[in-house]
């Protein structure tokens, strides 16, 4: 009897050791290829990238960091990036281009556009009459937003207001050196100009001007998309990403100085000082689930009515939105 009891104790001990080993065995991490755009759309991911590089994330993220939305679109369309931060109009266009191959996962940036002026003559949209506005974003959110706000204030592009498009680096350099009097830039490019050129001032916040129109929509310029097939096969990992991404955005908002350094380290913004100063004006948000659909459908409707090409020719269907 004693031998049986001893054997039973040995077996119980072995079983408890095996169970303990199983509990300690780490869960295999999902590898996710993520795309991060330099500039305001990517700022919120800076802490996530840092945590990932320190192996403190639940997923393993393989980042692709690029400067142009068109390049990011190519990576997503080719299946090289699973989850990507892109402008909201690009997300809709990509959905249409891929016949539903991407879904809208979250919103990460509200309005980030500012009219800068060398002088003090612009205090309202009406004051832009007769001006030439140097701007970025031809064929993207910035152009459509600016044209819409001008039209809603009875200003016609080409007659009342002239637009001159430059790439972000060239316009930032020209504005910083005083070569242009009026320009529209997003943060952090606008922040760079204001730091380098003391004669330039922020004259108009286009987010505030959009809200004045009271058109039932919110100005929502940045978002996160996921490839549809990746989402269907990795729902748990995608939910984990959302949790870690939300934590990252909250950290950036609450810790602009540290986050500014991370933006420079991970090459999202060239200089930490610029990123730190830009973060309070970058209108970072985190919205997921049903609220995404409610928040952005009105904005897409406005873009569609202004120019159907801005979102790929047609409004996204309901399967574009992840509401669970």
What is the CATH architecture assignment of 113-213? 3-Layer(aba) Sandwich (3.40)
Tens of pLDDT, residue by residue, the chain (324 residues): 555 556 555 555 666 655 655 555 456 899 999 999 999 999 999 999 999 999 999 999 999 999 988 999 999 999 999 999 999 999 999 999 999 999 999 999 999 999 999 999 999 999 999 999 999 988 888 999 999 999 999 999 999 999 999 999 999 999 999 999 999 999 999 999 999 999 999 999 999 999 999 888 889 999 999 999 999 999 999 999 999 999 999 999 999 999 999 999 999 999 999 999 999 999 999 999 999 998 999 999 989 988 899 999 999 999 999 987
187 within 8 A of 271, measured Cβ to Cβ: no
Continuous H helices in 25-176? 40-43, 46-53, 69-77, 88-97, 141-152, 168-176
Closest-CA residue to 203 (of 182, 189, 218, 221): 182
Task: Please tell me the pTM assigned to this model.
Answer: 0.86
**Domain ranges, ordered by start, for the chain:** 31-110+220-320, 113-213
The CATH number assigned to the domain with range 31-110+220-320 reads 3.40.190.10
Would 31-110+220-320 and 113-213 be classified into the same CATH topology? yes
């Amino acid at each position: 009897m004693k031998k049986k009891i001893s054997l039973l104790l040995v077996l119980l001990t072995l079983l408890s050791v095996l169970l303990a080993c199983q509990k300690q065995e780490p869960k295999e991490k999902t590898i996710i290829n993520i795309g991060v755009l330099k500039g305001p759309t990517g700022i919120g991911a800076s802490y996530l990238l840092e945590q990932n590089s320190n192996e403190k994330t639940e997923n393993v993220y393989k980042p692709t960091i690029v400067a142009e939305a068109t390049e990011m679109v190519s990576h997503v369309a080719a299946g090289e990036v699973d989850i990507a931060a892109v402008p909201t109009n690009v997300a809709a266009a990509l959905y249409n281009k891929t016949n539903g191959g991407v879904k809208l996962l979250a919103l990460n940036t509200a309005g980030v556009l500012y009219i800068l002026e060398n002088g003090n003559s612009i205090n309202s949209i009406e004051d832009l009459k007769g001006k030439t506005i140097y701007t970025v974003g031809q064929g993207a959110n910035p152009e459509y937003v600016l044209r819409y706000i001008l039209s809603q204030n009875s200003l016609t592009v080409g007659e009342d207001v002239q637009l001159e498009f430059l790439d972000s680096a060239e316009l930032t350099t020209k504005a910083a050196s005083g070569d242009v009097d009026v320009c529209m830039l997003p943060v952090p490019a606008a922040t760079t100009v204001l730091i380098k050129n003391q004669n330039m001032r922020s004259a108009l916040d286009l987010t505030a001007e959009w809200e004045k129109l009271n058109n039932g929509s919110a100005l929502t310029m940045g978002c996160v998309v996921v490839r549809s097939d990746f989402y269907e096969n990795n729902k748990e990992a995608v939910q984990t990403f959302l949790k870690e991404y939300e934590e990252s955005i909250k950290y950036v908002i609450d810790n602009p100085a540290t986050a500014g350094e991370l933006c420079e380290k991970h090459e999202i913004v060239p200089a930490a000082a610029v990123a730190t100063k830009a973060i309070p004006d970058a209108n970072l948000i985190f919205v997921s689930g049903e609220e995404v659909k409610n928040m952005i459908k009105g904005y897409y409707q406005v873009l569609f009515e202004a120019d159907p090409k801005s979102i790929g020719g047609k409004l996204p269907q309901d399967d574009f939105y992840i509401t669970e």
